[in-house]
Amino acid sequence: MSVTKAGIKELRHKIDDINLQLLELLNERAEIVKEIGRNKKAGVNRFDPVRERESLDMLLKHHNGPFESSTIVHIFKEIFKASLELQEDDHRKALLVSRKDHPEDTVININGTVIGSGVQNFIMGPCAVESYEQVKAVAKAMKDQGLTLIRGGAFKPRTSPYDFQGLGLEGLKILRKAADEEGLSVVSEILSPEDVEKALDYVDVIQIGARNMQNFELLKAAGRVNKPVLLKRGLSATIEEFIHAAEYIYSEGNKAIILCERGIRTYEKATRNTLDISAVPILKKETHLPVVVDVTHSTGRKDLLLPAAKAALAIGADAVMAEVHPDPAVALSDSAQQMNIGEFNEFMEKMIEFKGRLA
Ligand code: PEP
Ligand code: MN
C-alpha cells in the first residue's frame, strides 16, 4: 500500500498528537511522583528496586506491540530514572542550609564583628599557636590594623604523625589570653567531638578543618553547641558534599555556620591546592550561609595571597582568611606561606585600598 504525500502529512500530525498526549501523561505522572516524594522523609532511600521490578513485570505482561521487550524496559527505565531525579531535586531544595526556603542571608555576630552582612572582613593569625610571645605579636599587629578575628591552631591536623601536633588545650589558653588582651575574638580548630565542649571556654568560633569535613560525629557535636562554626571544604570535596556537611551541623540546631573555601586537590602542582573561586558565588547562591576564602591553604604561595584575596572580595566572599607569623622562617607549620608582620601590614594596606575601589 502506498501512502500519498497528503497521507504522510496526516500520519505525521497523528504522531505529533500522540507525542503531545505522551508529554501530558509524563507530566501528570511526574506530579504524582513528586507527591510521593514529598511524603517520603529526607534521607529515606528513594530508589525501590522491588517496586521497580513489579512495575516492569506488569508492563511486560501487557506488552504485545511491535517493540522488543528489552526496548520497552529501556524506555521505562529512563522514565523511572527521571522520576527519581525529580524527587532528589525536591529534597535538595529542602535542605535547611538551602536558600530555597530561606532567602535571607545568615548573619553571624562574633562579639560585635558581623560576618555575612555585606561588610567584608578578615580572619588572620598564625597557622599554629607556638608560644604566647608569637601569638601576642600577631594579635597586636591585628589590633593596630583594626581587625578583630584571630585564628590559630592549637590542635593541628598534620599529614604526618611526626609533625608538630599543636599545643592542645594549652595552645587555646595562650590564644585566649593574647586575644583578650587585644580585644580580639578567637577562631580555632577542634579535631575531635570530645574536645568541642572543652574548647567553648576559649574559642569564639569553632573551626572544623578540611580533613574533618566529613567527620560526622564532629559535625554533629559542633551542631549541638551555641558558638559559630567555621567549616572548611574537604580536600577533595564537591560543593554538594560541602553543603551536606554544613547540613549536618545545622540540622543539630546550630545555625551559625561559616563556609570556608580553601582550595581543592587537582592535578595542578603550581599551587598547593586549586582555589575554586567560583565555589564562592555558587555557595552563596545555593545556601544562605556566609562564605570565607582561605588564601593561605589554597594557594600555598605568598606571592599569590594578595591577588587571590582580591579575587575573593571581588567575587563576593564575606571574609578572607590568611596566616601571619612574626618569624615564618622558624614556624613549626606552613613556614613557606605565612606572612611576617611587615608583609601582613602591606597586605592589609593593599586590601583596604582594593576594598575602596570595589565600593
Ligand atoms: C588551618 O586552617 O589551620 C588548616 C589546617 O587548614 P585546612 O583544614 O583547610 O587544611
Ligand atoms: Mn596552616
CA of 33 to the centre of ligand 2 (A): 48
What pLDDT does residue 199 have? 97
* Cβ neighbours of residue 134 closer than 8 Å, sequence gap 6 or more: 126, 325, 326, 327
Q: Is 181 exposed, middle or buried (0-12, 13-18, 19+ CB in 10 A)?
A: middle
Q: What is the pLDDT of residues 35-62, one digit of tens each?
A: 988 887 655 667 888 999 999 999 999 9
Q: Are strands 108-110 and 113-115 parallel, antiparallel or unpaired?
A: antiparallel
Task: Please tell me the residue having the least CA distance from ligand 1 atom 4.
Answer: 209
Answer yes or no: are the C-beta atoms of 307 and 293 closer than 8 Å.
Answer: no
Range 164-193 average pLDDT: 98
CA of 242 to the centre of ligand 1 (A): 15
Q: Model confidence at 88, in pLDDT bands (50, 70, 90)?
A: confident
Tell me which of 189, 236, 271 to substitute to probe ligand 1's pocket, judged by most ligand atoms within 8 Å of the beta carbon: 189
CA of 179 to the centre of ligand 2 (A): 19
What pLDDT does residue 47 have? 80
What pLDDT does residue 304 have? 98
Task: Please state the three-class secondary structure of 213-230 as a single string.
Answer: CCCHHHHHHHHCCCCCEE
What pLDDT does residue 1 have? 56
Q: Average model confidence (pLDDT) for the chain?
A: 95
CA of 92 to the centre of ligand 2 (A): 33
The letter for the amino acid at 98 is S
Number of neighbouring beta carbons within 10 Å of residue 94? 13
Cell of 162: 611526626
Answer yes or no: are the C-beta atoms of 129 and 173 closer than 8 Å.
Answer: no
What pLDDT does residue 43 have? 54
DSSP letters for 49-67:
HHHHHHHHHHHHHH--SSS
* 128 CA closest ligand 1 atom index: 3
Looking at all shown ligands, the one closest to residue 123's CA atom is 1
Task: Please tell me the residue having the least CA distance from ligand 1 atom 6.
Answer: 209
* Cβ neighbours of residue 285 closer than 8 Å, sequence gap 6 or more: 99
DSSP letters for 321-333:
EEEB-SSGGG-SS
What pLDDT does residue 37 have? 85
Looking at all shown ligands, the one closest to residue 158's CA atom is 1
To the nearest whole percent, how much of the chain has pLDDT over 90? 90
Ligand 1 shell residues, CB under 6 Å: 127, 153, 157, 189, 209-211, 232, 262, 294, 297
Residue 31 has pLDDT above 90, yes or no: yes
Q: Is 17 exposed, middle or buried (0-12, 13-18, 19+ CB in 10 A)?
A: exposed
Residue 325: what are its φ and ψ, rounded to 5°? -140, 140
Q: What is the pLDDT of residues 214-264, one digit of tens each?
A: 999 999 999 999 999 999 999 999 999 999 999 999 999 999 999 999 999
Cell of 203: 574559642
Looking at all shown ligands, the one closest to residue 325's CA atom is 2
Q: What domains, with CATH codes, occur in the chain?
A: 3-94 (1.20.59.10), 108-358 (3.20.20.70)
Looking at all shown ligands, the one closest to residue 272's CA atom is 1
Distance CA 37, CA 324 (A): 50
Distance CA 199, CA 194 (A): 9
